[in-house]
Structure 1
Amino acid sequence: MRKKQWYETLFENYAEKYDKECFTQGTIGECDFLEKELNFDKSLKIIDIGCGTGRHAIELSKRGYSVTGIDLSESMLARAQEKALKNNLKINFLKCDARNLPFNQEFDVAIMLCEGAFPLMETDEMNYEILKNVSRVLKSKAKFIFTTLNGLFPLYHSIGDFHTQNAKEDDVAYDRKHFDLMTFRDYSITTVIDDHGVVKKLECNERYYVPSEITWLLKTLGFSKIEIFGAKLGAFSREDKLTPEDYEMLVIAER
């Protein structure tokens, strides 16, 4: 039997806690930005990759957009479906691996926010498979908007200090092992308490990317226009030039 990866274990029975985390509180502002990027065109078909509890998919659906949400976690998807039903919304939520999406040139827009799938994979090749699949499910003229970890940040700051400052009391504890400059991977021990009160100690491994890497990866997949900005929680803006102070980067790619 295949061993579960840390991100699979993390998101088992974690949906309610996830919705209360500080980093999930910017949904309204982020969707305001997405609407502007889409020119308020409600005819566009959107796929939300790594949709989690469906916060962006649900908000966009409330605003009249057609959204399909995919995620690897059954418990996260169950909560997403529950929230959609409470809001009388019909959203297609599917359990899928982002490295093997069951679509082909069906969507006008892909969003992948708050480290939805990418860049949590164990290897660079797996992360690249996610980008390849996103490219494949998009139509010939399409837009891809996502956030990912900014590799400039750990070069100038302590990731451990950042997580300590932003952790909620009794919810998450972060113990940094080391950041590998050769691979730009951060190895850490994260302790969380899930929705059932179970304490989980996870050996995490996340990949940080520098802007030139993201640009090159997307160009190999046929995206011709790639723009990268700083990603401020709940306040995405084209006015935010990416700096080493930004923990995440916002990527907008078109073809």
Structure 2
Amino acid sequence: MKKWYEELFYNYAEKYDNEVFTQGTIGEVDFIESEINHDKGCKILDVGCGTGRHAVELARRGYSVTGADLSENMLDKARKKAAEAGVKIDFIKADARNLPFQDEFDLVIMICEGAFPLMESDQMNFQILESAARSINVKGKLIFTTLNGLYPLFHSVKDFINTHSNYSANLDNTFDLMAFRDKYQLEIEDDDGNEMTLNCNERYYVPSEITWLLESLGFDRIDICGCKLGEFSRTDPLTTEDYEMLVIAEY
């Protein structure tokens, strides 16, 4: 039986590229370039690369890029985009928890929740970080975005206080404050117009959790920032209004 994220991306490549949250590629790649000092010798791995929007743009700018994703449908679209752009990228089908690399890359990116934190258990999500860390060489860097637990924590509590006079259940609130997971139903159409109802399960993290997880993997320089679409910046402080956080980790 397919997981909800496997069902979603089984036949969604065309519509995915038209989503609002995929429109910030150029600015995001500008930031990634600045983080590697525009070093064209940098070898990059894009985990959960999807349709290859970051991978193709990086390759277009002269970088050596490998893309990994669980969805063959998304990878097919990525290969077509790379061919159209006239760039060579090694796209592989792989589970982000068990990437076939060891100390091979100068930079690993995981942007827009391409893999982490969609897994149904904390252990599985941690395996993705472990696998990414194994793929990076000792002087490498990890850049990823993830769901910001401060956002639903602040807003769900605030909305509860403002709309309830007693402790009755908030049936509209799908966020589990004990597990920091949002379990909800998503109604969507695939590329062929087939309607789907997916039982989604996403994990939100607070900065202290992310810091501890990365420190346990040996990273000693960890920066967590706000995450604005197409406007990644180290000078953007993370707040309760940021739906995502941007994480930069180095050894």
**Structure 1 equivalent of residue 54 of structure 2:** 56
Determine the C-alpha separation between the residues in 2 that align with 1:156 and 1:104: 39
- 1:220 is matched with 216
- In 2, the alpha carbon distance for the partners of 1:59 and 1:150 equals 26
**Are 1:250 and 2:224 matched, yes or no?**
no
CA distance in 2, matches of 1:84, 1:60: 11
Give 1:219 shift: 0.2
Deviation of the 1:157 alpha carbon: 2.0
Specify the alignment match of 1:167 in structure 2: none
| TM-score for both structures, normalised by structure 2 | 0.93
Distance in 2, matches of 1:60 and 1:7, equals 25
Q: Give 1:82's aligned residue.
A: 80
User: Which of 132, 141, 144 is the aligned partner of 2:142?
Assistant: 144
Indicate the residue corresponding to 2:180 in structure 1.
184
Is the 8 Å Cα contact of residues 176 and 187 (structure 1) preserved in structure 2?
Answer: no
Unaligned residue ranges in structure 1 (runs of 5+):
162-174
1:42 maps to amino acid: K
Partners of 2:60 and 2:181 in 1: how far apart?
Answer: 37
Cα pair 1:228 1:249 within 8 Å, conserved: yes
- Between Structure 1 and Structure 2, how many residues are aligned? 239
Are 1:198 and 2:181 an aligned pair?
no
Give, in whole Å, the separation in 1 of the partners of 2:120 and 2:151. Answer: 20
The code of the aligned residue for 2:13 comes to A
Map Cα deviations across residues 69-113 of structure 1 (whole Å, 9 max, x no partner). Answer: 000000000000001001111100000000111111100100000
Q: Which among 232, 236, 239 is matched to residue 236 of structure 1?
A: 232
What is the rounded CA distance, in whole Å, between the counterparts of 2:153 and 2:121 in structure 1? 21
Classify the secondary structure of the residue corresponding to 1:99: helix
1:155 deviation in Å? 1.2
Deviation of the 1:134 alpha carbon: 0.6
Secondary structure class of the residue paired with 2:96:
coil
Report the equivalent of 1:5. 3
CA drift at 1:176? 6.0
Aligned equivalents of 1:126 and 1:83: distance in 2? 30
Superposition deviation, residue 201 in structure 1: 0.3
Answer with 1 or 2: which has the greater Rg: 2
Provide closer, same or farther for how the CA distance between residues 111 and 186 of structure 1 changes in structure 2, counting only shifts above 3 A: same
Alignment deviations for residues 209-245 of structure 1 (CA, whole Å, 9 cap, x no partner): 0000000000000001000000000000111100000
Which secondary structure state, in structure 1, belongs to the residue aligned with residue 210 of structure 2?
Answer: helix
**CA drift at 1:177:** 6.0
Give the letter aligned to residue 229 of structure 1.
C
CA contact 1:104–1:136 (8 Å) conserved in 2: yes
In structure 1, how many angstroms separate the alpha carbons of the residues matched to 2:109 and 2:243? 19
Matches of 1:118 and 1:25 in 2, distance apart? Answer: 20
Q: Aligned-pair RMSD on alpha carbons?
A: 1.4
Aligned-partner residue type, residue 212 of structure 1? S
Q: Which runs of 5+ in 2 are unaligned?
A: 160-170
Q: Which TM-score applies when normalising by structure 1? A: 0.92
One-letter amino acid of the structure 2 residue matched with residue 208 of structure 1? Y
Matched residue SS, 2:202: strand
Moved segments of 4+, more than 2 Å: none
